[in-house]
Amino acid sequence: MKVGFIGLGAMGLPMTRHLLEAGHQVTVASRSRGPIEIAVGWGAAEADSTAAVAGAADVVILCVPSSPDVASVVDALLPALGPGTTVVDCSTIDPEVERAQHERVTATGAAYLEAPLSGGTAGAEAGTLTLMVGGDAGDLATVEPVLAAFARLVVHVGGPGMGQVVKLCNNLIYAAQMVATAEATALAVKSGVDMAKLLTVLEHATGDCVAVRTRLPVPGIIPESPASNGWRPGFMTDLMAKDLDLALTYAARTGVPLSTTATARQALTAASTAGYGREDFSAVAKVILGLAGADLGAGAG
């Protein structure tokens, strides 16, 4: 199938590679030259404008950072859209903004789906992402073979905006997990607990969760964790903070109290202020451990 891809960032570039490896014809556009040149080297074609991506594709995938970015890309795409084209937004944005994009695109006769992602850069590299899709189920059935190139699980969760709501629910839980994991780590390290043994217990006890299994924030305990790799981001602190802002704003509009999410957001603020905004969001533990006066090296035995 002819696929357009707009936004070749840490997620979008490996997603594009998987599309090419699956045999799709891919036309790309992005803000930075470097990723475009890499994609072209893999066999993609470069469009000379955002609108040209739509002109060359049956399915146009967006993967950009924010609500204004999505609206701006849709602005540029609209003149080139019409029946037979499907736009799939894989960004994480405000649900109400997303619903507006559904209306704008479908007014042209084109189809629109939102499909925010879970799995981080590791999932993008491996082609094992989870997609939470909002929009028409029939439109999803048409493009699902394209999405399968980079996703292990594609779930239709409802109509316009519902994909974004489900994604925000997922991320607020993950952020809370990480703050609790950081606090438990600080308590354990300061008490002299062997962190490798703590991890073994947690993985088989009621404290088990994704944050514990993948991001226990002590170097050397989990080889693939950010803590063991210079806090290289699988998901940046500033991006998680952005998603919690979206969740808090949407919850305020819907009348849902999110006190735990607000606490997690404050911890992320402290991490960003400390200079960890572009590190993995598990770097929030460095702030909590620092406040506790806990030595990370002490628990790594």
Quick one: 173 exposed, middle or buried, by C-beta within 10 A (0-12, 13-18, 19+)? middle
Identify whether 190 is a catalytic site residue: no
Could you tell me how many residues make up the chain?
301
In 3D space, the residue among 170, 155, 173 whose CA is nearest the CA of residue 114 turns out to be 155
Q: Report residue 84: phi and psi, to 5°.
A: 100, -10
Q: Which two tokens stand for residue 86?
A: 């499907």
How far apart are alpha carbons 173 and 191 in whole angstroms? 27
DSSP state of 118: E
- Check if the beta carbon of residue 136 is closer than 8 Å to that of residue 111: yes
Q: Which of 2, 167, 190, 286 is catalytic?
A: 167
Cβ atoms < 10 Å from Cβ of 126: 13
Could you tell me if 164 and 93 are in contact, meaning their C-beta atoms sit under 8 angstroms apart? yes
- Helix H or strand E encompassing 158: strand 151-158
- Whether the CB-CB separation of 261 and 176 falls below 8 Å is answered with yes
Q: Which residues are catalytic?
A: 167
